[in-house]
Amino acid sequence: MKLENRYLPPLLITAILLVSQVSFGVLESFSRTLLAIATAMLCELLLARLFYHKWPVLASAYITGISVGILIRSPEYWPFALTSAIAITSKYVIRWRGRHLWNPSNFAICAMLLIAPEYIATLSIQWGNAIWPMLVVWVLGAVITWRVKRFHITATYVASFIALAFVRTLITGHPFLAEVAPITGPMYQLFIFFMITDPKTTVRSVRGQCVVAFFVAVAEMLFRLAHNVDAPYYALTCVGPVAMLLDVKVERPG
Amino acid sequence: MPGPDPSRRVRLAVALFFAALLAAPLVYKRIETREKATQSAGVLSRYGFRFTESSKAAGIHFKHVSPKLDAKLHHIMPQVASMGAAVSIVDFDRDGWPDIYVTNSGEGTRNALYRNMHDGTFQDVASDVGLADLNAAGTGVSMGAVWGDYDNDGFDDVLVYKWGRPELFHNDGGKRFTRVTETAGLPPWVNANTAVWLDYDGDGKLDLFLGGYYPEDIDLWHLKTTKIMPESFEYAQNGGRKYLFHNLGNGRFEEVSAKLGIASRRWSLASVAADLRGTGFPDLFVANDYGVSELYLNEGGKRFREAGKETGIGFAPKSGMSAAVGDVFNQGRFGIYVSNISEEGVLVQGNNFWVPQPGATKTTIHFENMANSLGLELGGWSFGVQFGDLNNDGFEDLYVTNGDVSLDPNRSYWYDYSKVAGGNKAIISDAANWPPVDGRSLSGYQQKKVFVNDGSGQFREVAQLVGVTDVYDGRSVAIADFQNRGVLDAVVANQNGPLLLYRNTVQPGNNWIEFELEGQTSNRSAIGAQVRAFWNGQEQLQEVSGGSGFCAQNDRRLHFGLGKASRVDRVEIRWPSGKTQTIAAPELNRIHPVKEPS
């Protein structure tokens, strides 16, 4: 059962990608996404051998690669390879007491947005225009995060986002639906099912995970009020490592 | 990951590798910047041409005004009322000198027809000939115009398409224009942003394609609902319908789009007709905003077959703004350039250049997007594009104008725009859900792009270096040799901005040749005629076009730069009627009038 669960997220993300590409042609090209996946897996293989002298399980690198392949948009090829390489390498370089602090793809995307904004952007549009694909992904995602015992994180984040969208409406005067709109996009489907639930970069307690999800939503609201189009990525990048450091500290004081 | 601790040396090496990864884009950027800096010296000698903005000196004092639509759209007015500046080139009086027609879009504003005075200046005669007053309240406002001699009387007539009532005017001997809209049988209201003349069935009479943007049942000044926006940013199919008007003769047209296989409600912004496969019949390419482009393959003049996916261009939806065809490799075949949106850090769609892959036949053709490898990809929020040999070196260059809404330069609407752009159909399609623009810019004040073809498969962007320095919200570009001197100038229509005339100075020494075609059996405008020039192992293909770019039309006269070549081996003309004609070793550096053999 444990093995099955480990492979559920990769299976889900692959299904999302294939269905979306076949139905709507969402990718600039398969080749760029494959490049991102291949680079992530290759880096993982090399670094795991180098660091631990073992062959790693590549499920996590696969998710990183496919996330990068879907979430970044660029007409060039090299940003896909570079983002994946940064993502995987960050896991090995930026560590604290044996744990890595950032979700790898989230960290790499933020890094690329900061250092190469003229070459990349993030996925910011709908896939298709019907509501049923969105519902299918949400239901499937919810079932799978439930099975891997991460649904509370997703649920907390979504509830917080919607509540804070209402707060933003009060502050900006913009329609509530405009503030809620982003979460209906595919970028958020990847964000809430794969990034914020990443077992390696979430704190240990269930309550702590919910609190962190809430603070990610709060940080995102602040970025949104500052008109940052990549608010969720930056929010997770800011809140995630703070939570991880506190968690490590609580786990092993001193 | 369990296992033994890595050695310090391994850690250090991986940390250095990580730092190198992070530094890579910065190094790449620095190399690019350094390369550009070294190119700025000796522009004329390096690139062989230089533009000088000369509208005022030429007597052109035109400023475009945007429409004011229904008050329900007031909060996003700058974004929705962001089109209508258009320019087309025609020799309306057949004096042998290209004239300029430019549309305005404010209610009650006037369009202008600049007659070429042969001395470098122009004079607006639109009111005198009856082509000025086209934006009266209640009739909609102009979006563009295309010229073609639909009745083969020797003078080009004009269709002015609008967000409103499309208007067809008959050219009465180059002196007056008579409105013939009702006789022609055009629909009462189309929110159109593209039209192109083509003779799709080769019967010698020009037909007309008209592409809707907003649905035709929407009067943008009297909205019944705010649910008029695209249902998706990249998959919308709730736009205006398409029309194909078959020319019946006697000034009448029959709408045949559904009968011939054109049924689409994508949000069309541009169309271009060209024979892409050598069948003798023009295919039709349509660039759509909020979605994929469409390619309608002409099946023997009897019907069209949409082959976007089959030919490779119908995937990866973007925001198609403009389309033009060009033979940039001198291989005797057209590629199709489509402009899209790129905004640093927000949306990097990249423009497309669809190049036919080797092995194309009359029945099979497949395109590959080569914009990236050719250096033609990034053009900002790109609008109008046109190909033309700007330095007469024998290779076609590319002019791209851009910029969406320039208001407060320090505040951007992009964040709020991206919120709804990513929203579900129920949200994005209702204008009431769109946050107010509130005086902010959306990809405003952008630097234009002029891509010079180096002849070896690479383009270099040189706009700032060659004098194209304006930052208006460019919409429509048209290219013509206004002074009959063998040099292509550019005219640019800007939204809420002036009409610009970029006069071209080309370094002496390169040769050129031009052809002014007149059909006899074919339509008299010779739209659809293909000319192949052969010299020094080069074979460049051009086609007389009934509209290309964004709401634009170049001069119908075809211009070939020849570089240092002292001789053109031959020129082959394939007329729309199917007749072919060869001109051996035509004289260089002159304009050749050519009549279709009877």
pLDDT means over runs of 10, chain A (254 residues) = 65 79 70 94 95 88 91 87 96 87 93 90 70 79 88 96 96 93 84 86 91 96 94 95 89 70
Inspect the interface and report whether the beta carbons of B346 and A229 lie closer than 8 Å.
Answer: yes
Look at strands B190-198 and B207-214 and give their pairing: antiparallel
Interface probe for B, chosen from A82, A86, A125, A137 (most Cβ of B below 10 Å), is A125
Residue B348: which pLDDT band, with cuts at 50, 70 and 90? confident
**β partners of residue B63:** B498
Residue B347 has pLDDT above 90, yes or no: no
On the question of pLDDT at B35 being above 80, the answer is: no
- In chain A, residues 119-158 whose CB comes closer than 8 Å to chain B: 119-121, 124-131, 134
State the number of CA atoms in the 13 A half-sphere of B82 facing the CB.
25
Residues 375-414 (B) with a CB less than 8 A from some CB of A:
377-378, 412, 414
| Rounded alpha-carbon distances, angstroms, from residue B163 to A212, B80, B212, B319 | 51, 12, 9, 20
B198 Cβ contact partners less than 8 Å away, ≥ 6 residues apart: B206, B207, B208, B209, B273, B282, B284, B527, B528, B546
**Quick one: DSSP state of residue A193?**
I
Interior angle at CA A82, CA A77 and CA A88, nearest 5:
135
Q: What is the pLDDT of residues A166-192, one digit of tens each?
A: 999 999 999 999 999 888 887 888 889
* Mutation site, A177, A220, A224, A225, interface B, largest B CB count within 10 A: A177
Q: Which residues contact A95 (CB under 8 A, 6 or more apart)?
A: A101
Nearest to A129 among B25, B232, B422 (CB): B232
Chain A nearest C-alpha distance from B543 (Å): 30
What's the pLDDT at A148? Answer: 86
CA distance B186 to B279: 29
Contact A184 B235 (CB under 8 A): no
Chain-chain contact of B232 with A172 (C-beta, under 8 angstroms): no
Does residue A198 or residue B322 have the better pLDDT? Answer: B322
- The stretch B222-243 carries a mean pLDDT of 95
What's the CA gap between B341 and B351, in Å, rounded? 7
pLDDT of residue B2: 46
What CA–CA distance (Å, rounded) separates B88 from B454?
Answer: 28
Categorize the per-residue pLDDT at B244 as very low, low, confident or very high, splitting at 50, 70 and 90.
Answer: very high
3-state secondary structure B415-476: HHHHHHHCCCHHHHCCHHHCCCCCCEEECCCCCCEEEEECCCCCEEECCCCCCCCCCCEEEE
Cβ proximity of A104 and A64 under 8 Å = yes
Q: The whole model's pTM is what?
A: 0.91
Dist CA B342 CA A118 (whole Å)? 9
Instruction: List the 73-102 stretch of A: residues with Cβ below 8 A of B.
Output: 73-76, 82, 85-86, 89-90, 92-93
**How many contiguous H segments (helices) and E segments (strands) does chain B have?**
10, 40
Average confidence (pLDDT) over B334-347: 92
What is the CB neighbour count within 10 angstroms for residue A9? 24
Comparing B333-337, B376-380, B570-574, the range with the smallest average pLDDT is B376-380
* CA A69 – CA B143 distance, rounded (Å): 39
Helix H or strand E encompassing A142: helix A132-147
Residue B458: pLDDT over 60: yes
pLDDT at B40 > cutoff 70 = no
pLDDT digits (tens, 9 = 90+) for B89-125: 999 999 999 999 999 999 999 999 999 999 999 999 9
Which residues on chain A are in Cβ contact (under 8 Å) with B421? 124-125
**Contact of A180 with B415, CB cutoff 8 Å:** no
Location of structure tokens 């909060």: B75
pLDDT for B595 equals 98
Beta strand ranges found along B357-420 (DSSP E): 367-369, 382-388, 397-402, 408-412
CB within 8 Å of chain B, chain A residues 218-247 = 224, 227-230
pLDDT at A128: 65
List chain A residues with CB under 8 Å of B12: none
**What would the pLDDT profile of B490-519 be if each residue is shown by its tens digit?**
999 999 999 999 999 999 999 999 999 999
Alpha carbon distance, N-terminus to C-terminus of chain B = 82
Strands (E), B250-291: 252-255, 267-274, 283-289
pLDDT at A28: 62
Residue identified by tokens 């475009």 is B64
Contact yes or no for B206/B247 (Cβ under 8 A): yes
What is the H or E stretch that residue B196 is in?
Answer: strand B190-198
Give Dmax over CA atoms of chain B in angstroms.
91
Question: What pairing do the DSSP bridges indicate for beta strands B552-553 and B86-90?
Answer: parallel
- What's chain A's length in residues? 254
Name every residue whose Cβ is closer than 8 Å to that of residue A224 and which is 6 or more positions away in sequence: A168, A231, B415
Q: For chain A, positions 53-72, list CB contacts with chain B under 8 A.
A: 53-54, 56
Q: Is the pLDDT of residue B257 over 90?
A: yes
Q: Using a CB-CB distance cutoff of 8 angstroms, which residues of chain B are in contact with residue A128?
A: 232, 235
Q: B540: Cβ–Cβ under 8 A, 6 or more apart, which residues?
A: B327, B330, B332, B394, B396, B532, B533, B560
Of B412, B419, B425, the CB nearest to A178: B419
- CA A64-A65-A71 angle, to 5 degrees, is 85
Concatenated DSSP letters of B313-356? -SSS-BB--EEEEE-TTSBS--EEEEE-BEETTTEE---EEEEE
Q: Which of B14, B22, B315 faces A115 most closely, judged by CB atoms?
A: B22
CB pairs A-B closer than 8 Å: 178
Beta-carbon neighbour count of residue B366 at 10 Å? 16
Chain centre to alpha carbon of residue B539: 24
The length of chain B in residues reads 598
CA distances (Å), B39 to each of B43, B44, B151, B513, in order? 8, 11, 50, 29
Please identify which residue in the block is written with the tokens 């969402």.
Answer: A26
Element (H, E) at A78: helix A78-93
- A167 DSSP β-pair partners: none
pLDDT of residue A126: 63
pLDDT digit string, tens, across residues B168-213? 999 999 999 999 999 999 999 999 999 999 999 999 999 999 999 9
Determine whether the interchain pair B18/A86 forms a contact, defined as Cβ–Cβ distance below 8 Å.
Answer: yes
Check if the beta carbon of residue B168 is closer than 8 Å to that of residue B157: yes
Per the structure block, which two tokens stand in for B50? 């230089």
Q: How many Å is the Cα radius of gyration of chain A? A: 18
